[in-house]
């Protein structure tokens, strides 16, 4: 599915549609250049899933973990990873990715997932972001059916 988002409100609407379709154990791999909308999308996704966490880019800390006491569609944890600064697959492995993937009540959102592709499940949801204009983004979603109008 390909969407052209002309505003952050449209990106929010898309994130809400994705939130309705995600299930525990899913991995969302977010591809795109700096400033293409990956973290903005994640912020709206976390919000749409009912988490009250403040979402910031994990570029410098590599991993942010959002939790909630009550389940939303079986999800109580969102692990948000950013591999932009990593240079090897060993660094990815050392972050405890396998343990995060084993958490049954969580989803995993990975920005810059290229180094982690060998560790991620084959059915991961791939979401690619590209800049079309100052406020316009082309967003392509693979391996997830959503209701987006």
Single out the residue of 135, 148, 143, 91 nearest to residue 116, CA to CA. Answer: 91
Let me know the angle formed at the C-alpha of 98 by 17 and 30, rounded to the nearest 5 degrees.
35
Looking at the DSSP assignment, which residues form a beta bridge with residue 79? 65, 108
pLDDT tens digit at each of 149 positions of the chain: 999 999 999 999 999 999 999 999 999 999 999 999 999 999 999 999 999 888 877 666 789 999 987 777 789 999 999 999 889 988 988 888 889 999 989 999 999 999 999 899 989 999 999 999 999 999 999 999 998 87
Q: Which phi and psi (to 5°) does residue 90 adopt?
A: -60, -40
What does the pLDDT read at residue 104?
Answer: 87
What CATH class is the domain 2-142?
A: alpha beta
Token pair 């309705």 is found at 20
- Distance between CA atoms of 86 and 84, rounded to whole angstroms? 6
Give the other-Cβ count within 10 Å of 91's Cβ.
Answer: 14
Give the other-Cβ count within 10 Å of 95's Cβ.
Answer: 17
Q: Which H, E and C letters describe 87-128, residue by residue?
A: CCHHHHHHCCHHHHHHCCCEEEEEECHHHHCCCCCCCCEEEE
- Distance between CA atoms of 93 and 9, rounded to whole angstroms? 35
- Distance between CA atoms of 119 and 122, rounded to whole angstroms? 9
Q: What is the pTM of this model?
A: 0.92
The residues spanned by each domain of the chain are 2-142
């Amino acid at each position: 599915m390909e969407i052209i988002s002309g505003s952050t409100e449209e990106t929010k609407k898309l994130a809400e549609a994705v939130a309705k379709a995600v299930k525990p154990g899913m991995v969302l791999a977010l591809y795109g250049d700096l400033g293409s909308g990956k973290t903005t999308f994640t912020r709206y996704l976390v919000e749409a899933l009912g988490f009250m966490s403040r979402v910031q880019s994990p570029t410098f800390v590599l991993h942010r973990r959002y939790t909630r006491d009550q389940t939303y569609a079986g999800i109580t944890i969102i692990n948000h990873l950013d591999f932009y600064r990593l240079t090897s697959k060993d660094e990815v492995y050392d972050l405890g990715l396998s343990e995060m993937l084993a958490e049954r009540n969580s989803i995993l959102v990975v920005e810059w997932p290229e180094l982690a592709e060998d560790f991620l499940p084959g059915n991961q949801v791939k979401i690619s972001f590209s800049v079309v204009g100052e406020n316009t983004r082309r967003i392509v979603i693979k391996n997830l059916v959503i209701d987006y109008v």
